[in-house]
A = this chain, B = another copy of it.
């Protein structure tokens, strides 16, 4: 944790405690992460969860009315960074891993009392897990208005049909928050809704955990492919209003982006720390350490600056959200995703490189992190999408509204065909 202008008084007390917990309780579990089955690891982590509770560190992300500390987004971001120093364990142990944290925020804000008592509270207590089912293999994930999954109302139920993938942590989850089209005739951004679907509902078919970079994983450490075949849920499982799905997804986006980015920054700090340890201890020639070589010094300097820049960008954005709301920083939210994901992967890659052959082995954790995080430049909007979106919103200020121009051109085309 590097102090910036965003470091607050209460973090002064909180962060070192979390930092120590991560170092003493979780980092040691990283040894052998690769051999140990997930079930065994989960059992170990569940014990650690009790310690978290005992230390009064449970529910750090929750608002005060839900029993949390009511940290600002900017503050919790800094917590998230520290948790990520144990990238595979930290967020799970503190019960604020994605997508549970996003689902908690969402249901807490928009769920009915019934939904809250049935799904939110056990989730907050860490008794159950959840997943979020939005992306479809058939459509480019970057456009939430293109979606084939439907939830058609029949009496008091929605009947869901569709095909999703990258529904992370679905394996073993109790429920999914599913994005589906309920109002196909509405304007594009008002077609979809969000529904809670218990994973034991008939028609919820867990097809497989998708093998990603060589690993299918299991439990909360996996990405599932799901089919919805006439899967029925009561209408009371609707979150918010019908047609609000896209708006809720947007709502989820701002804080979610901050969480992810700060997690990536924590990962980058971990990789940077490993890089520096290696550089200052590995002999490359007789009596010459790696760190004496300028190429390695270049890796260190560039990584240090880029991580610091990333943190300031994200925290300044979080701070603005705290004060003005997420709508004010749509631009910046695209920008930080792009910058931070790429920065993290660069730093990871440099850390691997500095470890030489050891770097690609699972004797250390770096290549495993790389495998798990390469997707950062893809999911939740690929680099290319964010780059374009950021630029388009800037060009609009300069009077060039590309999206509008495209819409008008398309409309003209359709008119032309209709004539």
Interface on A for B, CB 8 Å cutoff? 4-6, 34, 135, 137, 140-143, 146, 165-166, 210-215, 276-277, 279-286, 289, 291-298, 300-302, 304-305, 308-310, 312-313, 316, 319, 331-332, 334-336, 338-339, 352-353, 356-363, 367-368, 370-371, 374-375, 377-379, 382-384, 386-388, 390-392, 394-395, 397-400, 402, 405, 409, 412-413, 415-417, 419
* Nearest Cβ on chain B to A243's Cβ, whole angstroms: 21
* Nearest Cβ on chain B to A264's Cβ, whole angstroms: 15
CA distance A286 to B352 in the complex (A): 34
* Nearest Cβ on chain B to A330's Cβ, whole angstroms: 13
* Nearest Cβ on chain B to A358's Cβ, whole angstroms: 7
CA distance A5 to B136 in the complex (A): 39
Q: Are B313 and A305 in contact (CB under 8 A)?
A: yes
CB-CB < 8 A to A363: which residues of B? Answer: 210-211
Beyond A214-B367, A413-B413, 20 additional contacts (C-beta under 8 Å) are A135-B357, A137-B358, A212-B362, A213-B371, A214-B362, A279-B400, A280-B399, A291-B398, A291-B400, A298-B298, A298-B387, A308-B335, A312-B312, A312-B313, A312-B316, A352-B374, A353-B377, A353-B384, A356-B378, A357-B378
Q: A214-B371, A368-B214 are in contact. Are A293 and B416 (CB under 8 A)?
A: no
Q: Are B357 and A387 in contact (CB under 8 A)?
A: no
Q: A34-B214, A300-B390 are in contact. Are A140 and B289 (CB under 8 A)?
A: no
Nearest B residue (CB) for A278: B398
Nearest B residue (CB) for A405: B292
Q: A313-B309, A375-B360 are in contact. Are A388 and B294 (CB under 8 A)?
A: yes
CB-CB < 8 A to A413: which residues of B? Answer: 409, 412-413, 416
Q: List 19 A-B contacts (CB under 8 A).
A: A5-B6, A5-B319, A140-B282, A146-B285, A166-B357, A212-B367, A214-B368, A214-B371, A276-B394, A292-B402, A298-B298, A300-B395, A301-B386, A308-B313, A308-B332, A309-B310, A312-B316, A357-B375, A360-B374
CA distance A383 to B349 in the complex (A): 13
Closest 10 CB pairs of A and B: A416-B416, A297-B391, A294-B294, A312-B312, A280-B400, A211-B362, A309-B309, A280-B398, A300-B391, A301-B390
Q: A388-B301, A398-B280 are in contact. Are A212 and B361 (CB under 8 A)?
A: yes
CB-CB < 8 A to A313: which residues of B? Answer: 305, 308-309, 312
CA distance A279 to B402 in the complex (A): 11
Q: A135-B357, A378-B353 are in contact. Are A279 and B214 (CB under 8 A)?
A: no
* Nearest Cβ on chain B to A290's Cβ, whole angstroms: 8
* Nearest Cβ on chain B to A33's Cβ, whole angstroms: 11
CB-CB < 8 A to A357: which residues of B? Answer: 135, 137, 141, 165-166, 375, 378-379
Nearest B residue (CB) for A415: B416
Chain copies in the assembled complex: 4
CB-CB < 8 A to A305: which residues of B? Answer: 313, 335-336, 338-339, 390
Q: Are A316 and B377 in contact (CB under 8 A)?
A: no
Nearest B residue (CB) for A362: B211
* Nearest Cβ on chain B to A380's Cβ, whole angstroms: 10
8 Å CB contact of A361 from B4, B211, B309: B211
Q: Are A316 and B5 in contact (CB under 8 A)?
A: yes
CB-CB < 8 A to A331: which residues of B? Answer: 304
CA distance A26 to B128 in the complex (A): 46
* Nearest Cβ on chain B to A302's Cβ, whole angstroms: 7
Q: Are A360 and B378 in contact (CB under 8 A)?
A: yes
CA distance A143 to B284 in the complex (A): 8
CB-CB < 8 A to A215: which residues of B? Answer: 214
CB-CB < 8 A to A394: which residues of B? Answer: 276, 300-301, 304
CA distance A333 to B350 in the complex (A): 23
Q: A211-B362, A305-B338, A394-B276 are in contact. Are A295 and B294 (CB under 8 A)?
A: yes
